[in-house]
Each structure stands twice: as C-alpha cells, then as structure tokens.
Amino acid sequence: MQEMEETLFIIKPDAISHAESIIKRVEDEGFEIIEKKRLNLDRKRASEFYAIHKEKPFYSELVNFMSSGPVIVLRLTREDAVSYLRKVVGTTNPSDAAPGTLRKEFGSGVCTNAVHASDSKANADKEIAFFFK
C-alpha cells in the first residue's frame, strides 16, 4: 500500500468550460477533493506561481495565458497522488500526450494545455500553501 499524499491541480483558463468532465475524471481516478476554489489570477500572482520558469522563453506567454480568465484550483488527495495525477494529466505538449490523458483530450497547444499538476511532493506542498494557506 502506497502512502497517502496531497497534490495541487489547476484547471487552466482554456479548459474552464470542461471543468465538470475534468473533475469527474479526477474523482473516477480515486482522488478526493479536500478544497476547491474558482478564482482569477492577476499577472502578479500568475508570475509568482510560475516564478520557477521566469528565465524561460515562454514565461510571458504563460503568465498572460494564466491571467486571461478564471481558473479552478483543487487540493487533491490519493495514494501516490503526485505521480499518479501527472500520469492522468499527460505530457506538457498535448500532441505528445498519451490517448486518454487530460491534456490529450482537452489541451490545444504546449501553452494552452488545459491543466496543471504538481511535479513533486515538495512542490505540491509549496503550491498548496500558495493557494490554500
């Protein structure tokens, strides 16, 4: 039996109209929602959230996109939550993502890829604190 973990999941502005299906999928995969909220990230908050990428060429496009409309932020729990959710989400570029993954189904480009999922336990803790503490 694997350890219970928490992870942070975001439905990005491009996928807000699919929020119901995306949330159902995540619940069907065995995740429980501990907390959930819909909010708008302004440019400052979006920049802070993605600060790790600030030197990347796609940073300003990413900040513009993430502040372009509402997002839904979910604090999720499950056994092995961090790596399991990354598998459900799929690769960063939806065109490379495996069939059945959320990004394959709902993403439309490498920036507009529908969802975010924490990539490690340490980052999950930081990202949960960023939104919920």
Site residues (vs ligand UDP, CB under 6 A)? 53, 58, 61-62, 92, 110-111, 113, 116, 119
User: HSE on the CB side for 98, CA within 13 Å?
Assistant: 7
Catalytic residue among 7, 116, 117, 118: 116
Near Mg ion by CB under 5 A, which window of 16-24, 28-36, 41-49, 113-121? Answer: 113-121
Instruction: Identify the residue among 119, 125, 126, 130 touching Mg ion (CB under 5 A).
Output: 119
- Which positions ≥6 away from 44 have C-beta within 8 Å? none
What's the CA gap between 121 and 119, in Å, rounded? 7
Name the nearest CA neighbour of 113 among 44, 30, 33, 18: 18
Using CB distances below 5 to 8 A depending on partner kind, what does residue 113 bind out of ligand UDP, Mg ion, none? ligand UDP
Please, which residue, 29 or 119, has the CB nearer to Mg ion?
A: 119
Q: Which two tokens stand for residue 42?
A: 């302004």
> CA-CA distance, 64 to 85, in Å (whole number)?
25
Considering just the CA atoms, what is the radius of gyration of the chain in Å? 14
53 is catalytic: no
Give the shortest CB-1-to-ligand UDP separation in angstroms.
27
Backbone angles phi, psi at 7, to 5 degrees: -145, 160
1/57 with CB nearer ligand UDP = 57
Minimum CB–partner distance for residue 99 and ligand UDP (Å):
17
- The residue ranges that bind Mg ion (CB under 5 A) are 119
Catalytic residues: 116
